[in-house]
Amino acid sequence: METVVSGIRPTGRLHLGNYFGAVVNFVKLQSQYRCFFFIADYHSLTTHPHPSDLHGTVRQVLAEYLACGLDPNQCTLYRQSDVPETAELYLFLNMLAYVGELERSASFKEKVRAQPDNVNAGLLTYPVLMTADIIIHRAHKVPVGKDQIPHLEMARNFAERFNRMYGENFFPLPQPLGTEGEPIKVPGLDGSGKMGKSEGEGNAIFLSDDEATIQRKVMKAVTDAGPTQPHQPKSPPVANLFTLLKLVSSPDTVHHFEQAYNNCTIRYGEMKKQLAADIAAFTAPIRQRIDAFKNDDALLRRVLEEGQKKARASASATLAEVRRLIGFRKF
């Protein structure tokens, strides 16, 4: 069975865009591949989080992914820093990565722009650590979004360089794993592009938002003046609302509002009320599970201990071979 690895950045709460865009895919993959999913807490140190924030965000994403259906009995779910073999492999790979190629990476340049006062070496070697994450389990496939494709290309380069340098095809060259069919793009509520938490308060609906918050955000969503002719093409903000409706509402509901739009009788207020109610109904059970997991330290500890055991078994087997190939041997 092929091995899949993916990292989860511990950056706050998941929104519907994350859910339909990535999390649903992870949940599907865990029954089809040998999956390793980890919380990338080493990576997050590049931005110098406060120690209690680091712990809090790891708790949050762990609870949220469990609530969405990642099942520690089906996949290996672990915290990156619980597998120190990752750091050792990162050290070895740093000897193969050239400063020039790291400096040329578009994501590095972008981060330099974003945090000019903290251009640390960890930022420069982010793709090296990401490579270590992936090849430590000798992964074949990595489910990532478009933005991570250049990183994955660097991972293939480093893995290939290791193979060439040490004379064996030890590491598979990790390939991106797309979703079946078109990836689902979840629009935000501000009438422009996709849902994202950096697009301003109110654009994203989080899985942990309560019903009142969801309602407030949806009622404020951008629309237009309404159709004046039958079957008028929809403006982007209105098309976005219909896209959201299709994700969470019944086909009958969607049909009802499509028809109302097409014969110009639609009232956006009514549609928003329905959309808010259907989003709330969709996320309520997830939200309840998030709350339950978040407050169950014993369970979170057990999940991470179990994940660590499985991940370290895989990682230490790889490292034993890597050390031997590099030339570290017993007397």
Residues that bind ligand TRP (CB under 6 A): 5-7, 9, 40, 43, 130, 133-134, 142, 144, 148, 151
DSSP state of 18: H
Is 197 catalytic? The answer is yes
Q: Residue type at 115?
A: Q
Is 111 catalytic? The answer is yes
Give me the catalytic one of 28, 109, 111, 220.
111
Closest separation in Å from C-beta 222 to ligand TRP: 28
Is 294 catalytic? The answer is no
Question: For ligand TRP, which residue has the nearest CB?
Answer: 7
Please identify, using beta-carbon distances, which residue of 132 and 266 lies nearer to ligand TRP: 132
Please identify, using beta-carbon distances, which residue of 112 and 254 lies nearer to ligand TRP: 112
DSSP state of 74: T
**What backbone torsions phi and psi does residue 179 show, to the nearest 5 degrees?**
-80, 155
Closest separation in Å from C-beta 162 to ligand TRP: 16
Tokens 């990576």 -> residue = 43
Closest separation in Å from C-beta 193 to ligand TRP: 18
Give me the catalytic one of 141, 146, 197, 330.
197
Give me the catalytic one of 28, 146, 185, 194.
194
159-77-301 Cα angle (round to 5): 135
66 Cβ contact partners less than 8 Å away, ≥ 6 residues apart: 72, 77, 289, 293, 303
Closest separation in Å from C-beta 191 to ligand TRP: 26
Tokens 């089906």 -> residue = 74
Please identify, using beta-carbon distances, which residue of 76 and 148 lies nearer to ligand TRP: 148
Side by side, the strands of the sheet bearing 3-8 are: 76-79, 34-39, 3-8, 141-142, 175-176
CA distance 283 to 206: 9
Please identify, using beta-carbon distances, which residue of 80 and 240 lies nearer to ligand TRP: 80
Q: Which residues are catalytic?
A: 111, 194, 197
